Amino acid sequence: MKDCLFCKIIAGEIPSKKVYEDEDTYAFYDINPQAPVHVLVVSKKHTPDVAHNGEMNDHELAACLRTCAKVADQLGVAKDGFRIVNNCGDNACQSVKHLHFHVLGGEKLSERMA
């Protein structure tokens, strides 16, 4: 989608540090990490958020979670545990309106999630 930051990253028009890619998803390091491991998993198909996912089929939606698990395994945080975060909408402070999941790990994370 034109003027979407993550669509531009997926297309390679804006550089990113790639962690993993398959036909449905793209994973790269967050530019402002909030944990020792902080990766963004984005759907290749543009859709604004989980509440507006009509463009996506079940396989494409599930692929996002599968990629989160693969990334955690690949980066060595699966054994000790990790967190997947999805911000949806303004109250959740979603800043990029392209469906994405944060994979956070590499240390003991806060018990508080909100």
Q: Note the residues at the interface with Zn ion (CB under 5 A).
A: 1, 4, 6-7, 46, 98
Question: Whose Cβ is closer to ligand 5GP: residue 54's or residue 93's?
Answer: 93
User: Considering the complex, what minimum distance in angstroms separates the CB of residue 78 from ligand 5GP?
Assistant: 21
Q: How many CA atoms lie within 13 A of 6 on its CB side?
A: 23
| Burial degree of 13 (CB within 10 A; 0-12, 13-18, 19+) | exposed
Residue 87 DSSP code: -
**Is 100 a residue of the active site?**
yes
**Three-class SS of residue 40?**
strand
Binding flag, residue 49, ligand 5GP (CB under 6 A): no
What are residue 104's DSSP bridge partners? 38, 83
Given Zn ion, ligand 5GP, none, residue 98, with its beta carbon under 5 to 8 Å by kind, binds: Zn ion
The vertex-111 CA angle with 38 and 34, nearest 5°, equals 20
Given ligand 5GP, Zn ion, none, residue 7, with its beta carbon under 5 to 8 Å by kind, binds: Zn ion
Given ligand 5GP, Zn ion, none, residue 95, with its beta carbon under 5 to 8 Å by kind, binds: ligand 5GP
Residue 37 CB coordination number (10 Å): 19
The residues of the shown chain that bind ligand 5GP, judged by CB under 6 A, are: 5, 14, 16, 28-32, 40, 87, 93-96
Q: Which residues are catalytic?
A: 100
